[in-house]
Amino acid sequence: MDRTAGQIGAGPRLHPTTEPFDRRMIDMGDGHSIYVEQSGNPDGQPVIVLHGGPGGGASPHLRRFFDPARYRVVLFDQRGCGRSRPLAAVARNTTAHLIADIEAIRATLGIGPALLFGGSWGATLALAHAEAHPEAVTGLILRGVFLGRRRELDWFYAGGAAQFFPDLWAHFTAPIPEAERDDLIAAYHRRLFSGDMAVETRHALTWMAWENSLAGLHSSHCGGGPPDYARVFSRLECHYFHNNCFLSEGQLLQDRKAIEHLPAVIVQGRFDMVCPPISAHQLAEGWDRCDLRMVPASGHALSEAAIAAELLRVMDNWP
């Protein structure tokens, strides 16, 4: 969950915009080439930034959460999205592939253990990678925690959030015949992978509009974004959700013991309607080195002022 963040409200004064000192494509040897960039200080503390979605792509805006004199910031577009190729491809595109890509990026760039910074689906991937390779991680900074569980998907796609947004839910469900509404992820999956570009794009815009509309506490009914972007985002996100994020149920909580020695900070909007705070609370409970920061009067989006300010505070004061 969580596409590249738009400007929902006026945010804090972030670090100045910086240009990457390195841009490259890394051929993963299986038909996928991954766009990777580095900015900040080449000798600084490495931090790998994991964007949301799946399928959101890495925004240049993300560089501004890090002091360029202190951090070596690595951004990349996950398989099938952004500047990575091929676009919208779901073959050989699973959570395990993304974890392997992070390791390939570290090896190619000569990076040792690094901080992981990710929100929403980026938080999911950060946890999955850290639990698979705890030796490769020095700490985690997570926002809007999504653990990839069925209950979280049901909240968003089986009527939970609809109780607060019945009008927007009606718009989301309208393209799907009533006989198929018992499994909206599967229904949208059939249309997003129909092979008919017009059908795929039309349903992609509606899929994306539902998420956009709930992303910010003060969001109104938003559109689905540029059609080409919406198709890429929606296909990849639906592909992952249709396959339960390629995680076993409850895996990230069950395997938390592998990373409990690591420091972590969770920045969570108190009124996050995309990824409700219960998941962040359950992840942090009993993890002594995890600092859960509930941000009042805030929703899900990175671009919300209080969320952005808290993340900036975390990174400026990281040990």
Q: Which residues are catalytic?
A: 120, 272, 300
Distance of CA 29 to the CA centre of its chain: 25
| Structure-token pair, residue 156 | 């968003």
Helices (H) and strands (E) in the chain, counts: 10, 8
| Structure-token pair, residue 74 | 């690595």
Give, rounded to a whole angstrom, the gap between the first and last alpha carbons of the chain: 29
Distance CA 281, CA 142 (A): 12
Instruction: Return all residues near 8 (Cβ < 8 A) that are at least 6 apart.
Output: 215, 216, 218, 219, 301, 303, 304
Query: 11-27: buried (b, 16+ CB within 10 Å) or exposed (e) per residue?
Result: beebbeeeebeeeeebe
| Residue-wise DSSP of 117-134 | EEETHHHHHHHHHHHH-G
Instruction: Return all residues near 278 (Cβ < 8 A) that are at least 6 apart.
Output: none
| Structure-token pair, residue 131 | 């639990």
Distance CA 216, CA 271 (A): 9
Check if the beta carbon of residue 193 is closer than 8 Å to that of residue 181: no
CA torsion, ordered 234, 240, 243, 244, to nearest 10 deg: -110
